Structure 1
């Protein structure tokens, strides 16, 4: 089994059925808001604000630093308690600083710890949280 030192990334991650999506982007880009939308539809919080990424064999796993576990920031409300999971396999990364411009986007990837992952851009549509949940349940074609 290949292991490397974990990374701590300024990001937010949620999981569905053990598969995680991680949202990267600048402060205020909507990472926590997207996570809250997905959590309202049944996703579990992995981590908000800081995500620990660990490599195990050819997979990446995300988890939360202990002081932040089970907490998410909702702008205008403050810190909320949330149902959370200890860790999940990272399946996709969403760049919240980039807005998808095409109906059928090209395949993109991002690499962490020498593992390539699918990379999506933020979709400015009400269906995006639901579509991401379905993606985590079955991945894209």
Structure 2
């Protein structure tokens, strides 16, 4: 991983790997990043990093890792910070921005740019009960593999 600041950046985002594909969960404090990550982990995802994610650019792709100081740690509100299995070096495939009231029928083709790499972007209500399922569907739809 390059230490060149032009190729590496730590951002305020939680990240998980779903089926080996990196998903950035972006939102302000209290928007549900850790909560959604916890529910995705319960459904089989793996934690990459909670609250802050280190992104590096390699071969035109974003690679997601945890900063060393928080690797393997997840905040569970009202319980504290817990140790959990985690992975690193995962290619980012999707960004999800958490919003309390996302639009019902969003524009297709929204993107999130980081280090000059564009990721597909979806906006979800992170605390909504169906948010983990919607996140999985969004990731599957990138490959045209939507369930049905």
| TM-score normalized by the length of structure 2 | 0.84
Greater mean deviation of Cα atoms: 100-109 or 81-90: 100-109
Match of 2:116 among 114, 117, 126: 114
In the alignment, what sits opposite 2:136?
133
Matches within 5 A, 1:1-141: 4-97=6-99, 99-103=101-105, 105-123=107-125, 125-137=128-140, 139=142, 141=144
C-alpha distance in 2, partners of 1:103/1:119?
Answer: 14
C-alpha distance in 2, partners of 1:137/1:15?
Answer: 13
TM superposition shift of 1:104 = 5.5
| CA distances 1:115-136 after superposition (whole Å, capped 9, x unpaired) | 1111111146422202323443
Give yes or no for contact 1:99–1:121 (8 Å, CA) kept in 2: no
Greater mean deviation of Cα atoms: 14-23 or 93-102: 93-102
The answer to which structure, 1 or 2, has the higher relative contact order (CA under 8 A, 6+ apart) is 1
| TM-score normalized by the length of structure 1 | 0.88
C-alpha distance in 2, partners of 1:127/1:139?
Answer: 19
Which structure 1 segments of 5+ residues have no match? none
Show structure 1 runs of 4+ deviating over 4 A: none
C-alpha distance in 1, partners of 2:56/2:135?
Answer: 22
Q: Which has the higher strand share?
A: 1
Instruction: Look up the SS of the partner of 1:42 in the other structure.
Output: coil
